[in-house]
Amino acid sequence: QVQLVESGGGLVQPGGSLRLSCAASGSIFSIRSMGWYRQAPGKQRELVADITAGVSTKYTDSVKGRFTISSDNAKNTAYLQMNSLKPDDTAVYYCNAVASAIPNYRFLEVWGQGTLVTVSS
């Protein structure tokens, strides 16, 4: 099995920055992609950014130019650097990974428990 643990959420003022981390652990065989989703109160969960094969990235339009996703394949960890934060970025941020584990070797989608990001003055 693969487990994801997020860290780095918190309270930040508008215009500030935060860096989220997502560490994958367990009997990992391969990680195809890692990404970040968010869910604000009363809204559906949405994709924020993801990274495939440690290289190809994708962002939702509202965060382009402000957020950067990266990964350290040796540490099985993904990061989300969030700059110029806005109140609309307030949400629970969830890490997501598509990974395979020993001994099944099937690629499955895995979710973290979520970390709260609050942007407020």
Write the pLDDT tens digit of every residue in 21-45: 999 999 999 999 999 999 999 999 9
Percent of the chain with pLDDT over 90: 89
Q: Is 19 exposed, middle or buried (0-12, 13-18, 19+ CB in 10 A)?
A: middle
Distances (CA, A) of 16 to 76, 80, 83: 27, 14, 6
Closest to 98 measured CA to CA, from 27, 45, 24, 47: 24
Greater confidence (80 vs 1) lies with: 80
